[in-house]
Amino acid sequence: MENNIIDDLHEADVALSVDAGEMRHDPAVRTVGALSEIADQPPAFTLAALAVIGGIAIGRPRLTKGGARVLLSLFIATQVKAAIKSKVVRTRPYKLLDEGEYETGLDGPDEADYNSFPSGHTANAVAAARAISRVAPGAGAPLWLGAAAVGAVQVPRASHHALDVVAGAAVGLLSEALAHAAFGLLGGERKGGRRRR
């Protein structure tokens, strides 16, 4: 019974990828997909590092702290995501759509075309949104909307399956929670003007 539910969910996920992936050449999907590249590792790490440097340079500790939180969250997310991708094989939707090939399982090819699970873009976007909203709560709503858009567009652009996006979001939340805990251990957190002990 449990296997049937998992199989049905898997089949529905792949079917959704095939249907949604038909929109991958749509100009709107391509535009939003290109914008979502801000959550890829190089630009995400670069922006976080610039926030740290900029915060130090102009004397804005909150900017520095936010950038540092994002950097650590991204680092953890990258490690977790890479560990999962090295073990889990899942063909990306574009390869399924273009070549009719689909493979899933453990310990298969460790190549980009077979590293769909989990979505790194989503993990990074969610980790960054949560990290920044810790120091700038007022920015939370637009950041979460942006992270949701980054994740959602991965399916119609045929980069990831929907379950990859969900898993990426979970990786992002877990990674930021670990980073938050590390910051708490290293320097304490101020709450109501007092440092928590």
Confidence of residue 180 (pLDDT cuts 50, 70, 90): very high
Residues 6+ apart with CB under 8 A from 187: none
86: nearest Cα among 115, 60, 57: 115
> Side-chain half-sphere of 153: how many Cα atoms within 13 Å?
23
Residue 98, in any domain of the structure: yes
Residue 193, in any domain of the structure: no
User: Two tokens at 60?
Assistant: 């804005």
How many domains does the chain divide into?
1
Give kind and range of the element (H or E) at residue 127. Answer: helix 120-135
Global model pTM greater than 0.85 = yes
Q: Which domain holds residue 122?
A: 2-186
CB 91 within 8 A of CB 101: yes
Neighbours of 116 (CB within 10 A): 29
52-108: pLDDT as tens digits: 999 999 999 999 999 999 999 999 999 999 999 999 999 999 999 999 989 998 987
Residue 66, in any domain of the structure: yes
For residue 162, give Cα distances in angstroms to 12, 42, 70, 131, 136: 10, 24, 25, 24, 29
Residue 197, in any domain of the structure: no
Stronger pLDDT, 105 or 119, i.e. the higher one: 119
The lowest-confidence range among 52-61, 106-115, 173-182 is 106-115
Residue 167, in any domain of the structure: yes
> Side-chain half-sphere of 166: how many Cα atoms within 13 Å?
4
Residue 52, in any domain of the structure: yes
Residue 192, in any domain of the structure: no
User: Two tokens at 17?
Assistant: 């990828």
Q: What is the CATH number of the domain that holds 113?
A: 1.20.144.10
Looking at every residue in the chain, the average pLDDT score rounds to: 92
Residue 83, in any domain of the structure: yes
The runs of H, that is alpha helices, within the chain are: 2-21, 27-35, 41-58, 61-87, 93-99, 120-135, 140-153, 162-187
74: nearest Cα among 143, 160, 176: 176
